[in-house]
Amino acid sequence: ETGVTQSPTHLIKTRGQQVTLRCSSQSGHNTVSWYQQALGQGPQFIFQYYREEENGRGNFPPRFSGLQFPNYSSELNVNALELDDSALYLCASSSRTDPMAPLHFGNGTRLTVT
Amino acid sequence: AQSVAQPEDQVNVAEGNPLTVKCTYSVSGNPYLFWYVQYPNRGLQFLLKYITGDNLVKGSYGFEAEFNKSQTSFHLKKPSALVSDSALYFCAVRPRAGNTDKLIFGTGTRLQVFP
């Protein structure tokens, strides 16, 4: 069983730039969600994708957007980066056929905005 | 507003002693409850969950958690702590309403187990 993998592991960007983070879901999982974990905080839900469509969103502005592909992998895109976007971005996958199952998280991408 | 509180930023315990990491929540309905652990520069690892039934649930690595509906609490426990248990622990709830996997996390409690 292949777990959730994220790339890259670390990234440094300049304020105003755009960034794309990638996630491959665990085999057998069809739903992907993204979380932002700022330093010293708990993860905050950004959004979730199922069947290649966004089907839930947290309190994040539209410059945070995403995609899900037919193989269930996903991208998180952030435009017009701000210093406060510096955080660990976590991807989690799950199966819609088992709604009570826990989420499986990747190791995250550490984004630093300077 | 829905929220999860972990009142202790850090818990210190000697190896071999019992440990408790506290969690309370303010979420309508009967949410699903979870504990996750995070090691440095890693993602979150699932420890245990409460869905329904027995108020004491057992999970990975000897951890257990006690659900108390009247106090809306879900405290994490272990009878005998190990140095290797030192990590950051997060309590999370998932509202039953809605159609997403959205988890609401607490701010985390750092557990330090001393030899």
Closest CA to B110 of B15, B8, B24: B8
Tell me if chain B has a CB within 8 Å of the CB of A45: yes
How far is residue B86's CA from residue A37's CA, in Å, rounded to a whole number?
20
Mean pLDDT of B47-76: 94
How do strand B109-114 and strand B10-14 relate by DSSP bridges?
Answer: parallel
Q: Which residue has the higher pLDDT, B30 or B104?
A: B104
Tell me if chain B has a CB within 8 Å of the CB of A102: yes
Nearest to B46 among A33, A55, A102 (CB): A102
**B98 and A110: CB-CB below 8 Å?**
no
**A90 and B44: CB-CB below 8 Å?**
yes
Predicted confidence at residue B46, as pLDDT, reads 94
Q: Which residue has the higher pLDDT, B2 or A18?
A: A18
Sign of CA dihedral A64, A34, A67, A113: positive
Predicted confidence at residue B114, as pLDDT, reads 96
Per-residue pLDDT tens digits for A22-39:
999 998 888 999 999 999
Q: Which residue has the higher pLDDT, B81 or A27?
A: B81
Tell me if chain A has a CB within 8 Å of the CB of B46: yes
Q: Is B18 exposed, middle or buried (0-12, 13-18, 19+ CB in 10 A)?
A: exposed
Chain A residues in contact with B90 by the CB 8 A cut-off are: 42-43
Asked if the model's pLDDT at residue B115 lies above 80, the reply is: yes
Q: Which residue has the higher pLDDT, B14 or A96?
A: B14
Per-residue pLDDT tens digits for B30-60:
889 999 999 987 889 999 999 888 899 999 9
